Structure formats: C-alpha cells, structure tokens
C-alpha cells in the first residue's frame, strides 16, 4: 500500500530502482550481521521487506506507461514470470554455492547482482515514452495516441461499494483461491528442500536442482495458460465463468492430487515426478482466481485484488503448521509421518479450495460493480509509411501493424472476461 502511494506521487522508475538498491545493500551487510549481531539480522530483514514492498507497484507504474495497448499482455506476463522462475534459479545457485564455495557466498552474489541491476535500471529506464530522448517519431506517435485514449474519460470520484464487495461470495471465492496458492507456494519454497533432506537424505546440491525443476515448469504454464484461456473465451467455447472455474479446478485439482500421492511415496524419483506434474499444472490456476477480479467489477478490480492479498495468511499458517508438526518428530519414523501429515493437510486445503471456487466463483459482473454503460475505445494504429498505406513496421514493436478504425466495445463484452483485459489494467 505505501509503495503504491509513493509511486503515484514520485517517479516510478526511482521508487523501483531505489527499493531494489536499498534491499541489495542490506543484503551485502547481512553476512556480517549474522556473524556478529543476531538482533541486527532481524532489523535488516524487516527493512528489506519494507523496501522490496515498494518495487512491485512501482514496476507496474513503469510497465503501464511503456506497454502499448496491443503489447501489454505479453510484456507484463513475461515480466511477472520472473516471480516463478527466480525460485528455480535461486535454489540451484544457492545449493551449488553452499556446497562448493561458502555458506555466505550466495548472499554476496545476490546483493551484488541486485545493486548492479538497480544501477542499470536507473540509468536506462525512463518513466514514460515522452521522456525518452532517443524514441523514434512513429513510436512516440503510437504512445501519444494510446495515452490520449486512455486518459480521455474524465475521472469520477465515487464511493467504493464496500458493503457489496464484503458480502459478495465470488469475492470470497477469490480470497480462498489466493489462500490455497500461498499455502502451497510457501511450502514449496521453505519446506520442500527440507523434505528431500530429511526423508531421502539428499545433498544440498541435489536438492537445489530437484527443487528448481517444478518452478521452471510452472513458469512455462503460467505464460501459456493465460493465452489458452483467453482463446477459449474469445472463441466462445466456454463462458467466462466456466473458463475461470475450469482453470482453477485443473490447476489446483491436479496439484492437490499429486501432493496427496507424494505423502505415500517412499521413492524420491516418484515423488519428484509427482511434484513436477502438480506444480506445473498449478500454473493454470493463475488464469482463474488471479484474473477473476476484473470479471466481477472492472471499475473496482484493484480493490478486490487488494482484498485477495489476505490470502497471504496461507503462507504464514503453512509455515507455522509445518513448524509444529515437524517439531513433534523425534526419530526418522516420526519425521516421515510428520511429512505425510503435512502433505495430506496441504492437499486437503487445496481440494477444499477447488470446491469453494467451483461453487461460488463467477465470471459475471456483479450488481455492485457500477454502471454497465462504460465503454472502452479501441485505438487506431499509427499512420503507415509511404510504401504501404495499411501497414508499418516500428523499431519498438518489431512487427507489422494493421490500421484499424476506432471501435466502441461494450463493457459487458467478453473483453472484460479475458486475461489480457485484466493485465491491461495493471
């Protein structure tokens, strides 16, 4: 929340760059604090969390300004795929450096990479196209046209319909989906490596590799899943409601089944394969609950999305449950039993989330979402060059653009039910 306020008042570029820079510098001093002053470690970690919290809304601000209307979906999807591929890279490099270099070498590497990245970011990135000194005229015209269209409607200050939002069952279905996602994701990041170590007695390097592969698969599915779901909706094969529920059911249903099966596996190869299948398929669920706020209320999508962040409680409770369940184990047999319980609990929560979402979720606009007369404008593309009146090739887009006439699209059309439309509002 504070990060969003800072982004609206100051430069998105500097807020994002400085947040990463501050976190990286704190990372560089972390090994010293670990060695000499334990209370300082807690202070540093809190400060890192506060600094990094500003980076996401600031990044959204930069991408929103730079992404043309026809390019926003792929730009944002690729950018946020880093949130899922980074655990894979981190697990591999951390395991290798801990085994073959030193325990604190990876901290210095991450801190240095973040510091260098922040410097490059602040030197090369501009808040908006109009500030870039080397932007071509055709690119500038494209951005200016899109900018005028986006900001042409007069802003209206209305009271947020809190009563309607807080009494809406589809909203709570989204919150439940976010809760389940965070429960499993936290388990994968913080507890999965410990599972391979305690149950199968694997080395840190082996664990790093095995833990990374599922995240790579999930990244691929996250990127392609939204495209698949959008096509299903656009072609009329499924309604928005059915498409959202199908995404959630397939993603979380397959993952819950695999996690439940892992609880009864005594072979690491079988457990690894199940983990890859389950985590990979879970990427489809992102096209369910995470996109759903725009279906319910395009005007208040940010409010619903903010409420869905309550699902972060799943990560907190997942960590606490794992601590207490494993703390009761005294020998190897008890440890295996503890892990079995943890997987069964996680799978049961996921199955419950699938049922709740399948029953209460919706892809239709809600009565409290505001007027249905809102129109969106489809902007004409820039004027073509002299050689071809219908097409042009720009340095930015690297593709041919067809000239279109402005079109008015009703707010209740399928566009509001698509993943692309949701990403365009970020």
Q: What is the pTM of this model?
A: 0.65
Are 12 and 127 in contact by the 8 Å Cβ rule? The answer is yes
pLDDT of residue 132: 79
> Using the 8-state DSSP alphabet, how is residue 376 labeled?
E
Are 109 and 97 in contact by the 8 Å Cβ rule? The answer is yes
The 3 state secondary structure assigned to 135-196 is CCHHHHHHHHHHHHHHHCCCCCCCCCCHHHHHCCHHHHHHHHHHHHHHHHHHHHHHHHHHHH
Structure tokens at 367: 């009565």
Are 414 and 233 in contact by the 8 Å Cβ rule? The answer is yes
pLDDT of residue 156: 42
Distances (CA, A) of 65 to 71, 130, 131, 244, 426: 12, 10, 11, 28, 10
pLDDT of residue 54: 73
Task: Indicate the burial class of 79 (C-beta count within 10 angstroms; 0-12, 13-18, 19 or more).
Answer: middle
294-321 as b/e: b if 16+ CB within 10 A: bbbbbbbbebbbebbeebeebbeebeeb
Q: What is the mean pLDDT of each run of 10 residues along the chain (426 residues)?
A: 58 85 90 86 87 72 62 59 75 76 84 91 83 76 55 48 88 91 84 84 77 84 81 84 90 93 89 91 83 76 74 87 80 79 92 93 84 40 41 38 40 39 39
353-369 as b/e: b if 16+ CB within 10 A: bbebbbebbbbebbebb
**Sign of the Cα pseudo-torsion (279, 280, 284, 290, in order):** positive
The torsion angles phi and psi of 386, rounded to 5 degrees, stand at -70, -25
Structure tokens at 247: 């995404």
The torsion angles phi and psi of 401, rounded to 5 degrees, stand at -115, 135
Are 256 and 177 in contact by the 8 Å Cβ rule? The answer is no
Are 49 and 27 in contact by the 8 Å Cβ rule? The answer is no
> Who contacts 161 (Cβ-Cβ below 8 Å, separation ≥6)?
300, 368, 369, 370
pLDDT of residue 3: 52
Q: Using CA atoms, how far apart are residues 93 and 118, in angstroms rounded to an integer?
A: 21
pLDDT of residue 397: 38
Q: Using CA atoms, how far apart are residues 292 and 177, in angstroms rounded to an integer?
A: 10
Are 221 and 283 in contact by the 8 Å Cβ rule? The answer is yes
pLDDT of residue 107: 87
pLDDT of residue 116: 93
Are 113 and 27 in contact by the 8 Å Cβ rule? The answer is no
């Amino acid at each position: 929340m504070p990060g969003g306020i800072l982004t609206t008042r100051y430069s998105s570029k500097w807020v994002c760059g400085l947040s990463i820079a501050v976190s990286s510098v704190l990372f560089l001093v972390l090994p010293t604090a670990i060695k000499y002053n334990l209370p300082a470690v807690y202070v540093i970690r809190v400060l890192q969390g506060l600094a990094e919290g500003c980076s996401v809304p600031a990044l959204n601000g930069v991408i929103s300004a730079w992404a043309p209307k026809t390019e926003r979906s792929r730009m944002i999807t690729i950018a946020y795929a880093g949130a899922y591929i980074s655990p894979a890279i981190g697990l591999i490099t951390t395991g290798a450096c801990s085994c073959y270099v030193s325990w604190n070498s990876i901290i210095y590497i991450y801190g240095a990479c973040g510091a260098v990245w922040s410097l490059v970011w602040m030197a090369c990135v501009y808040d908006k196209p109009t500030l870039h000194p080397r932007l071509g005229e055709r690119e500038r015209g494209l951005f200016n046209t899109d900018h005028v269209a986006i900001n042409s409607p007069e802003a209206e200050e209305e009271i947020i319909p809190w009563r309607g939002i807080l009494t809406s069952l589809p909203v709570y279905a989204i919150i439940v989906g976010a809760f389940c996602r965070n429960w499993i994701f936290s388990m994968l990041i913080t507890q999965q490596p410990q599972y391979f170590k305690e149950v199968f007695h694997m080395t840190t390097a082996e664990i790093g590799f095995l833990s990374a592969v599922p995240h790579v698969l999930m990244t691929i599915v996250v990127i392609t899943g939204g495209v698949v779901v959008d096509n299903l909706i656009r072609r009329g094969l499924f309604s928005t409601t059915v498409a959202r529920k199908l995404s959630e059911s397939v993603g979380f249903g397959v993952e819950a089944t695999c996690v439940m099966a892992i609880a009864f596996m005594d072979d690491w190869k079988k457990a690894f394969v199940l983990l890859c299948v389950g985590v990979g398929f879970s990427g489809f669920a992102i096209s369910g609950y995470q996109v759903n706020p725009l279906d319910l209320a395009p005007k208040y999508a940010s409010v619903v999305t903010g409420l869905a962040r309550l699902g972060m409680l799943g990560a907190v409770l997942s960590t606490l449950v794992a601590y207490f369940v494993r703390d009761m184990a005294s020998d190897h047999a008890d440890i295996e039993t503890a892990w079995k319980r943890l997987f069964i609990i996680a799978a049961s929560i996921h199955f419950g989330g699938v049922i709740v979402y399948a029953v209460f979720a919706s892809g239709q606009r809600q009565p409290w979402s505001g007027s249905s007369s809102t129109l969106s404008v489809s902007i004409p593309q820039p004027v073509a060059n002299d050689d071809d009146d219908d097409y042009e090739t720009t340095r930015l887009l690297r593709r041919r653009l067809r000239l279109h006439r402005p079109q008015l699209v009703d707010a209740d059309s399928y566009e509001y039910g698509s993943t692309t439309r949701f990403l365009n509002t970020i």
